[in-house]
Amino acid sequence: MKKTKITILADEDGTSHPPLDYDARQESNKTNSYAAASLLPGAGMDFTLVFSVPRGTKAKALVFSLLTYPKDVGKKETVDVRVNF
């Protein structure tokens, strides 16, 4: 069973907040592509996620899915990563 790609900021009240935008190097035009720029095995890249949450929200975790793009979209399961705060 294939999992769906996900990026969510979870708060201490159990609410999930999807990102409003992101800033990362892209293979093609950001508005037309989910594909990040290609990386060599073991390499990394910095990126920014932008969230809008109510004042006073206490973030609990960031959950996002890793997947090799674009050739594996819909063909391989994602690997979900959870970063607890």
Query: Does pTM surpass 0.75?
Result: no
**Would 80 be classed as within a structural domain?**
yes
Residue 34 in domain: yes
The average confidence (pLDDT) of the chain is 77
d(CA 67, CA 55): 32
State which residues form the domain around 59: 7-84
Please check whether residue 56 lies inside any domain of the structure. Answer: yes
Confidence of residue 52 (pLDDT cuts 50, 70, 90): very high
- 79 vs 13: CA distance, rounded Å: 25
- Establish if 77 belongs to a structural domain: yes
